[in-house]
Structure 1
Amino acid sequence: MDVVAHKVRLSRLPVWAAVFVVAVCAAILALSGWSEWASRDNELRGAEVELGNLTRSLAQHVEDTVELADTIIRGVVSELEGEDGSGPAVLRLQGIFNSTKSSLGRVRGVFAYDETGRWLATTENVALSNYNNADRDYFTHHRRSADRSLLIGKPVQSKAGGQWVITLSRRWNHPDGRFAGVVLATIDVAYFSEFYRQFDVGPHGTIRLMSRDGAMLAHSVDPVPDMERQSVVDDIPFHPSFGILHVRLPQDDSERIAFYQRAQRYPFLLVATRTREDVLAEWTRHFYVRIAMVVGLVLLICAIGIFLVRLLLQGRRLALALTSNEESFRLLAEGSSDIVTRIGLDERIRYVSPSVLRLLGWQPAQLLGKRALAGIHALDLPQIEEIMASIKRGETEEGRATYRIRRRDKSDIWVETTLRGTRTDDGRLDGFVAITRDVSQQKALQGKLETLAIEDGLTGLANRRRFDERLLEEWGRAYRERTSLALLIIDIDHFKAFNDSYGHPAGDECLHAVAVILADEAQRSSDLAARYGGEEFAILLPNTDPAGCARIGERIRRAVRDAAIPHRANPPSEIVTASLGGAVCRPGSERSAGPASLIEAADRALYAAKDGGRDRIIMAGDVMAFAPSIVPAAAHL
């Protein structure tokens, strides 16, 4: 019976081995399929994040462009209304147009019309008597409506040049309030189209600038605007200001990933799209390679299984299986573009794949026996040590980290490493396997996008969005720690007149010079200097009392004067000066107040400084204790 039972067991061994091989192959295929699906999802999510960052930056760009044009329009309106559109005023305005038209930048042209639509002055080189714009929609709107706010019209073909332009206009009045005419600025549709083509959204991706009602204003592919409502707008929710959509456009049958972003200050909508095929193109190419490798691995395992069945009968299963597994590991490691490293428990390298030469510049043989953690940046080393310690303690089997490492040529690169523990047959930990890849390009792109989102392009200071975020953060911190929070708002005196006198390039240089002064005064790491809007700046000063806030404000005021920038339209000094309003609050002592209260108090103090003669600082009290709608009387320091 024992012999029979032994023979039965021997006869079942090949069956058990075959079942085992099939189960392993199924598990590999299942895990590979799950991994590929997860990788595919990561590609799609990464594309969504990239599109989101891009559309936010482009929305800020179009807002800045419109704000620049509106500043020009306001200056022209002020010039015309100052002398009721008299002949000398028009001649002076035309002279200004002639001297500044080469420096308008994003703005295509500026025009001034009288109440009949006749051209008074323009930056275009045309005969004014040949044109009349009384038939334009924007002219009709301003003639009928007393509303003096900025009107953003649909694209039209320019009468002067024939190109498609986006119109921005304001009404100007006679002294008695009657309609006197229109001031218009135009921006080429082609400017936005050419600008959007600079961004890589794939061979079939698009960037659209649209109005809130769905009319397309500019397109990265087609330079001619489409006044018809775009179907993608129907899929955009009414309330959220941004979001992700998955749509199919009428002109193609490809499913697209679309990210939309509404502009905050103007009625624009930015939509960036990429086809799913473009997003997954690289993943698809690699997918077939990886699938081929997996199939090859499965076939290899099947072959090993067949050998195992035979070797079970010959008594050599264990030795040949171990040899085959080791060869399989080396085949995969040496064929991979990533660095594959085997590390002992003593943290020394036992094996490293040939790709280390391409990434780090070292020959594999030069690293054998060396410390695996050598070359890792000192600031990043603790996270790697913690992962290895966690695997040794049995708390986890795998860890992942992104860090800097020194190459042989002494340069640093960013890499991502997946570290996993390896065990013996009896379950004891005997070392680690690390798979490392170069992610320097991804880190560089991420840094550029983060900078665009929080930095003002002209001055290099924080932008308005970053200021609003930090104000909320510092308000919460001051509330928790019961400390004070100070705010200074700085306005350059008669800055519009400065631009009118010296031109916008000089105005930009003036803003940059003031920004340098503010950056020098924001000395602590917690201080924040920001461009608040136009010629206004703000400095947030956590844990600063009224006296300290006033001292800093006075230093800024003096530094602006000491810069001695000529400004003949700012009597009596005829140099650039600044007015400052300051406010201090203790959020923990006055719970009815909020961040808006601090801004309102500083703003009122700023207006008090302007009304008091400019070139001074006014503080809104020693320590604020007010409700959101109540601000103490300003005190002149």
Structure 2
Amino acid sequence: MSASLRNASLRQLAFLAGGLVALICMALLTLSSLREWGLRHEALKAAEVDVANIAQSLVQHADDSFELADSLVIGLVHRLETDGIGPGAIQRLRDDIDLRKGTMGRVRALFVYDAAGRWLATTESVNPALFNNSDREYFKQHRASLDKGLLIGSPIRSRSGGQWVITASRRFDHPDGSFAGVVLATIDASYFADFYKRFDLGTTGTITLIEKSGIILARSVDNETSVGRDVSSTPLIREMDARRPAGLYYFRSPFDQTLRLSFYRLSDRFPLLILATEAKDEVLAPWRQEAMIRMALVLGLVTLIAGTGIYLVRQLLKGQRIAAVLAANEADFRLLAEESSDMVMRIGLDERIIYVSPSCIRLLGWSAAQLRETHALAGVNGEDLPRVRQTVRALKQGEVEETRLVYRTRQREGGEIWLETALRATRDPETGKVNGVVAISRDMTAHKDLEQKLATLAIKDGLTGLANRRHFDDMLQQEWRRAGRDGTSVSLLMMDVDNFKKFNDQYGHQAGDSCLKTVAKAIAAEARRPGDLAARYGGEEFVLLLPNADEVGCALVAERIRQSLETLNLAHALNLPTKRVTLSIGGATTWPNAETQGNHPLLIAAADRALYVAKHAGRDRFVMSGQVVAWRGAESA
């Protein structure tokens, strides 16, 4: 070959080498940018999960608070409508309200007003004769409306204490149905604000309790100036009817104009909305700081590679062998693997590790030297091993080029972690045949743990640990369809704690919660078979699903539950005649078929009717739907 041709060839090779170096630098910058964007997305997702969990929990807290207030109000309404508002009845009511002062928990005060708005009784230490509340908006609404339901009003300044309070009220009537007055419970707006401050949402995060119409009831930041503010014109409130009951929401705050990441959750029981927010800039601040450091390293590495490429091009123009260029590039690529936080492995066709990056000691606890030449699948969990082995075999045989797996593997300390591994087959550049597999792994344990926790929250009742209503409904449908296919029976027990409201009034709500937990434990103990399911149906009501059980089996289980409570002998002085905690139980059994495939609510209705009969026949007994069951107190529904 002539010198000119050789020089042209070298120049062409130099241009190709320069283009390759430029492409590598661009690829590194692109991949680094994509990775940073992914980490940014992960930071936002983590914050979204945090605010979602907080909003879900605080909706339950708000529901419990107003349910407590409503239970106190309902009790007074019932008493006033039964005893009237004569002087003697009102004096007894005042004495009873005075006794409640120390047992109302988060409820600040109770008030009773007559039809003219005069104060008849209150837990506040003021002279009732000095006040009249007929001008309050909630009073006007109750006077004008026959609706006896709970009304949660807009926040107002208390006349007795001067602080912002949230009202929960019901009207009560004279025997002829005419308006007799209002019973009111108040909760300090500052109670919610102080409770919300316990949650860490960063220095500028906020939690806001909003009435569905758009009036702020409480806020963790600047509560005194925020309460009562109307935000109904904001897109969230304005478009709420078209939105889902819960969801993510990015918006610019009308308070400080900060762009916020938030999660809203509507209450299922009350016209309430919880909005938990974090400032988006604050969420991304740690990522930005780390990203600048990582990008500086990448730019340094790109500069190094570019400098190396220029050097190699010069060496090519001087006639150096191309092998030197390939070796330098190989060194650069190895440097990338060494700097990566993910674990990079090169696996041979014999499934032994040829190379592993230093990140392995952080993920698995073993050094690269200890793992080299060991079997790549040695630590994989036995349940996941067949799936992983099949995937690796497909890669080695050229059936797939790349794939991704999530599986468990053993650590040096003896525990297990979840790994997400991207696998790609490598080929010999000369023959094109598969000569191994490259695996890039990252730790997914925290992500898996979070998935498990969210799955548990979705099916468990927070107080008793039993299945919740939603999970029970799903399982009943499944067992109904299975029984219809197999021609077997399905039985259901519905149970209600007798006089539970009196128990709460007598012993307090903490004791009531403890009582429900004990009853739930006794019921759960009878869910002995794999298909049996004990659930909290709502309030003090429980259900026990008994697949493949007939009437006799259903009755035996009910009797064991009743005997268990009798053995526990939980004191309940107002539950006569036993003076202990008892259950009324209704049972039903059916044999589903193709014609009744969607009629599983009929089983609930039958058991509920039987429970109703048990209640009205004297409580502390079991009634089987459509059949008399021969044990103490049992009757036919």
Tell me if TM exceeds 0.5.
Answer: yes
Deviation of the 1:150 alpha carbon: 1.0
- Once the two structures are TM-superposed, the CA of residue 149 in structure 1 deviates from its matched residue by 1.1
How far, CA to CA, are the matches of 2:7 and 2:360 in structure 1? 52
Q: Secondary structure at the match of 1:229?
A: coil
2:140 and 2:563 map into 1 onto residues whose CA distance is 49
Note closer, same or farther for the CA distance 1:553–1:395 as it changes in structure 2 (3 Å cut). Answer: farther
Give the 3-state SS of the residue equivalent to 1:303 in structure 2. helix
Please point out which of 405, 414, 424 is paired with 1:410: 414
| Inter-CA distance 296–485: structure 2 relative to 1 (3 Å threshold) | farther
Structure 1 residue 596 and structure 2 residue 601: aligned?
Answer: yes
Structure 1 counterpart of 2:277: 273
What amino acid sits opposite 1:162 in the alignment?
G
Deviates more, 1:148-157 or 1:347-356: 347-356
Q: Do the aligned residues in 2 keep the contact of 1:581 with 1:602 (CA within 8 Å)?
A: yes
The equivalent residue for 1:70 is: 70
Q: Which residue of structure 2 aligns with residue 20 of structure 1?
A: 20
Alignment-derived partner of residue 213 in structure 1: 213
Classify the secondary structure of the residue corresponding to 1:177: coil
Which of these residues, 500, 509, 533, is aligned with residue 538 of structure 2?
A: 533
The alpha-carbon deviation at position 260 of structure 1 amounts to 2.7
Q: Deviations over 1:514-558 (max 9, x none)?
A: 111111112233332222221111222334333333322232223
The aligned residue for residue 153 of structure 2 is 153
Please, which runs of 5 or more residues in structure 1 have no aligned partner? 623-633
- Name the structure 1 match of 2:80: 80
Bigger shift: residues 398-407 or 549-558: 398-407
Q: Distance in 1 between matches of 2:197 and 2:404?
A: 37
Q: Which amino acid aligns with 2:625?
A: A
**Aligned amino acid, residue 536 of structure 2:** R
Is 1:260 the equivalent of 2:264?
yes
Q: Quick one: structure 1 residues 488 and 439, their matched pair in 2 at CA, closer, same or farther if it must change by over 3 Å? A: same
Specify the code of the residue in structure 2 equivalent to 1:69: A
Aligned to 1:627: none
Q: CA deviation at 1:454?
A: 3.3
The 1:361–1:563 alpha-carbon spacing in structure 2 relative to 1, beyond 3 Å, is same
Alignment of 1:105-504 (within 5 A): 105-224=105-224, 225-230=227-232, 231=234, 232-238=236-242, 240-313=244-317, 316-426=320-430, 427-479=432-484, 483-504=488-509
The alignment-based identity, stated in percent, is 50
1: CA distance between counterparts of 2:107 and 2:306?
69
User: CA 1:246–1:139 in structure 2 vs 1: closer, same or farther (change >3 Å)?
Assistant: same
Q: Distance in 2 between matches of 1:462 and 1:530?
A: 4
The amino acid of 1:277's aligned partner reads: D
**2:55 aligned partner, one-letter code:** T
Deviations 1:247-271 (A, max 9, x none): 2233344433343322222111222
Distance in structure 2 (CA, Å) of the matches to 1:466 and 1:31: 43
CA drift of 1:383 comes to 4.4
Q: TM-score, normalised by structure 1?
A: 0.87
Q: Structure 2 CA distance, aligned partners of 1:402 and 1:200?
A: 32
Q: Deviation string for 1:137-189 (max 9, x for gaps)?
A: 22332233332111111112223333222111122233343433322222222
8 Å contact 2:584–2:614 — kept in the other structure? yes
Give me the whole-angstrom Cα distance separating, in 2, the residues matched to 1:90 and 1:370.
85
Amino acid at match of 2:205: G
Q: Is 1:558 equivalent to 2:560 in the alignment?
A: no
AA partner of residue 335 (structure 1): E
- Residues 337-382 of structure 1 show CA distances to partners (whole Å, capped at 9, x for unaligned) of 4444444443334444444444444444343333333444444444
Distance 1:560 1:477, change over 3 A: same
SS at match of 1:581: strand
Q: Which residue of 2 aligns with 1:574?
A: 579
Alignment of 1:512-523 (within 5 A): 512-523=517-528
How far apart, CA to CA, are the structure 2 residues paired with 1:78 and 1:432? 75
Greater shift, 562-571 or 379-388, is seen at 379-388
Distance 1:430 1:410, change over 3 A: same
Distance in 2 separating the partners of 1:252 and 1:556: 57
One-letter identity of the residue aligned with 2:604: I
SS at match of 2:242: coil
Question: Any conservation in 1 of the 2:492–2:603 contact (CA below 8 Å)?
Answer: yes
AA aligned to 2:237 is V
Deviates more, 1:461-470 or 1:163-172: 461-470
For structure 2, the residue ranges without an aligned partner over 5 or more in a row are 628-633
State whether residues 587 and 593 of structure 1, in contact with CA within 8 Å, keep that contact through their aligned partners in structure 2: no
The structural deviation recorded for 1:331 is 2.8
Distance 1:200 1:389 in 2: 48
Shift of 1:488: 2.0
Paired residue type of 1:487: L
CA displacement at 1:121 relative to structure 2? 4.1
- SS for the counterpart of 1:456 is coil
**Alignment partners' CA distance in 1, 2:505 and 2:380:** 56
Higher mean C-alpha deviation, range 158-167 or range 370-379: 370-379
Residues 201 and 393 (structure 1), Cα distance of their counterparts in 2 relative to 1, 3 Å cut: farther
Q: Which amino acid aligns with 1:507?
A: G
Question: Cα gap change, 1:353/1:242 in structure 2, threshold over 3 Å: closer, same or farther?
Answer: same
Distance 2:436 2:479 in 1: 47
Change (3 A) 1:218 1:449: farther
Matched, 1:549 2:551: no
Name the SS for the 1:590 alignment partner.
helix
1:385 shift after superposition: 3.2
C-alpha offsets along residues 462-518 of structure 1, whole Å, 9 cap, x if unaligned? 233333343444445445555443332211111112222232222222211111111
> In structure 2, do the counterparts of structure 1 residues 204 and 321 end up closer, same or farther at CA, with 3 Å as the change threshold?
farther
1:614 is displaced (CA, Å) by 1.8
Does the CA contact (< 8 Å) of 1:103 and 1:505 recur in 2?
no
Aligned residues: 626
SS of the residue corresponding to residue 585 of structure 2 reads strand
CA distance in 2, matches of 1:471, 1:163: 49
CA distance in 2 between partners of 1:235 and 1:173 (Å): 37
The one-letter code of the counterpart of 2:230 is: E
Q: Which SS does the other structure have where 1:582 is aligned?
A: strand
Three-state SS of the structure 1 residue aligned to 2:247 is: strand
Shift of 1:460: 1.9
Give the superposed CA RMSD. 3.3
8 Å CA contact retained: 1:257, 1:276: yes
Contact 1:172 / 1:182 at 8 angstroms: preserved in 2? yes
Q: Partner amino acid for 1:61?
A: H
- TM-score, normalised via structure 2 length: 0.87
Residues 8 and 411 (structure 1), Cα distance of their counterparts in 2 relative to 1, 3 Å cut? closer
CA apart distance, 1:118: 4.2
Give the AA of the match of 1:296.
Answer: G
Q: 1:171 to 1:431 in 2, by over 3 A?
A: same
Equivalent AA in structure 1 for residue 60 of structure 2: Q
- Write out per-residue CA displacement over residues 260-301 of structure 1, whole angstroms, 9 at most, x where no aligned residue: 322222111222333432343343334333433443343333
Amino acid in structure 2 at the alignment position of 1:226: G
